[in-house]
Structure 1
């Protein structure tokens, strides 16, 4: 395992995070077109990519609920709360840890 900002992460996962960070920090021309292109990858891989997407949304929601955001990412974090809460309220996701955090922050 390696360390990335205090998170124990595999070497391959860290490599992806670094590559994605570099991509969105100046190399991406269109989030819309990138999203469209990603939606054409193999269907199994779409499912795996979506798991990463949901995990990212969850972490942004946790960050918002714990006050770990600023004006640069407040909109993303606030919208992540709305999305993740919608999945939780619709019984699409079972996440007692997040529910406890949500109940404390209300």
Structure 2
């Protein structure tokens, strides 16, 4: 029974953190280090390379607007090379617990 309580706690904490995305407009995608908590209506992070100007734009987006050249992803800080952050760790731990015990 304690296992289910811990599982619910991890899932609640990871949801409470909300979605975080890298946000920037830059010429080098690796220079995007600013993060932002997305408003509730946004459920994806995006990256968009602007050809001809050698620029990339990153931020929050809704799944409905993820079309064309816009690369969208689910999860905290997923629009970077390496996803990081405490909410990501909580999601990984809760996924591992579910996989091992269910």
**Is TM > 0.5 for Structure 1 vs Structure 2?**
no
Greater RCO structure (CA 8 Å; 6+ sep): 2
Structure having the larger proportion of residues in helix: 1
TM-score (normalised: structure 1): 0.22
Q: Under a length normalisation based on structure 2, what TM-score does the superposition of the two structures give?
A: 0.23
Structure with the higher strand share, 1 or 2: 2
